[in-house]
Amino acid sequence: MKEWQKFLLILAIFLGAYYIPWDSTLIRQSGLEAFMMLQEYARQHVLTCLIPAFFIAGAITVFVSQAAVLKYFGATANKILSYSVASISGTVLAVCSCTVLPLFAGIYTRGAGIGPATAFLYSGPAINVLAIILTAKVLGWQMGLARAIGAVAFAVITGLLMAFIFRKDDANRKTGELFLPDEEVKPRPLWQDALYMLTLVLILIFASFARPTADDGALWRLIFNAKWYLTAGLILVLAVMLKKWFVKEELKGWMEATWGFSKQILPLLLGGVLVAGFLLGRPGHQALIPEQYIQMLVGGNSLWANFFASIVGALMYFATLTEVPILQGLIGSGMGQGPALALLLAGPALSLPSMIAIASIMGVKKTAVYCSIVVVLSTIAGMGYGWMIG
């Protein structure tokens, strides 16, 4: 953090302490809701969901090379393979809408087609593996699944539409091969890395396994009752793998990457939880913004509600994962499920700062078309999802 940013942070805290009318009953209730929501997150999501997810993200960063993804975006690459890799790259990169911009600029200016490049630009932040996991954990598996499917589909559709609309410009661009160095030969067989990643994912699944409801079957209840035994057994298996298959330098790199994700994301997430709790409260609890305002703007599943949610999501900047607690508060205040999905699909992939930067890379016209495609697709997806869940 730069010195002027530190100064602005200190100034904001001082002004808040000086001017916020804490003697108001509504403000006190909103402040209490902020910390109650933070406590709820700490108890229900951080240890059993976020911490294992940070370790998975760190492992992806260290053991899955970004070069292995980016080298498929060259102008002469196989189109099916190129779009397939671009549409799922977010699960590998785990970046936000601003972090993905230098990567997009690099592949686009070196000759990647506008289709695969914009597919990558969308998918990088939209399919963030941590965000998908947290969405399913907090907002329900249906919303998490819809977000994952929608984001992958949007990446491909957006790329194909951009390639079709600007096919003449793309053909006239000076193209060149995207040169990336070959990956280093790994000391382990591929199956060992795959088994290691699978073990991490299973630890996350069992550690965050939800308490069964009355409608759940006997198998679900059996797994829940045995979740900590299964988790402990998997941790023991992981320890054996790390001891036998990995060297000290690799483990150090994994820990550093995991800690890097934690430092970058966790403070922003917890800050986002506090802000969401103060403004919106927990579901069923009144905070600063009256529920009738939320219901009026994004309640139900109308075309306006979905379009408004898409526009707001596209313009706002969401630090990684902060969209989830914000949406939890909005849904609790009356936001419809359709508009919630629309915001999830448009928000992380776009922001006003990223739009300005994208325009400097591929021009205002292409940027306007790209943003319009994302907003329209998000609106349609929101209406469809709202109609499906009824």
Residue 208: predicted pLDDT: 78
Give CA separation, 71 vs 14, 86, 390, in Å.
49, 11, 43
Query: Do 115 and 83 form a contact (C-beta atoms < 8 A)?
Result: yes
Number of domains in the chain: 1
Query: Do 264 and 28 form a contact (C-beta atoms < 8 A)?
Result: no
DSSP character string of 118-154: HHHHHHHHHT-HHHHHHHHHHH-HHHHHHHHHHHHHH
Query: Do 362 and 114 form a contact (C-beta atoms < 8 A)?
Result: yes
State which residues form the domain around 175.
Answer: 25-187+247-389
Residue 20 lies in a domain: no
CA separation for the pair 333, 340 (Å, rounded): 12
Cα 72–chain centre separation: 23
DSSP assigned state of 77: S
Residue 59 lies in a domain: yes
CA separation for the pair 260, 273 (Å, rounded): 20
Question: What is the H or E stretch that residue 27 is in?
Answer: helix 25-41
CA separation for the pair 261, 344 (Å, rounded): 21
Residue 180: predicted pLDDT: 47
Cα 324–chain centre separation: 9
Residue 171 lies in a domain: yes
Other CB atoms within a 10 A radius of the CB of residue 226 amount to 13
Question: What is the H or E stretch that residue 390 is in?
Answer: none
Length of the chain, in residues: 390
- C-alpha dihedral sign at 180, 185, 189, 193: negative
Helix, strand, coil: what percent of the chain each, to 5? 75, 0, 25
pTM given for the model: 0.63
Query: Do 247 and 256 form a contact (C-beta atoms < 8 A)?
Result: no
Residue 99: predicted pLDDT: 61
Query: Do 375 and 346 form a contact (C-beta atoms < 8 A)?
Result: yes
Residue 136 lies in a domain: yes
CA separation for the pair 53, 204 (Å, rounded): 7
CA separation for the pair 357, 125 (Å, rounded): 15
Residue 177: predicted pLDDT: 46
Residue 227 lies in a domain: no
Place of tokens 């940013």: 5
Enter the tokens of residue 62: 């260290």
Tell me the average confidence (pLDDT) per consecutive run of 10 residues in the chain, 390 residues long: 82 89 89 88 78 80 63 68 77 62 72 83 79 83 90 90 86 52 58 87 81 74 90 94 90 88 76 79 76 75 91 73 78 86 87 79 91 95 89
Residue 364 lies in a domain: yes
CA separation for the pair 249, 42 (Å, rounded): 32
Q: 323-332 and 248-280 are packed helices; what angle lies between their axes, rounded to 10 degrees? A: 30
Residue 309 lies in a domain: yes
Enter the tokens of residue 104: 């997009």
Q: Which among 374, 328, 383 has a CA at the least distance from the CA of 348? A: 374
Enter the tokens of residue 261: 């994700």
Residue 11 lies in a domain: no
DSSP assigned state of 203: H
Residue 307: predicted pLDDT: 94
Query: Do 191 and 143 form a contact (C-beta atoms < 8 A)?
Result: no
CA separation for the pair 320, 12 (Å, rounded): 22
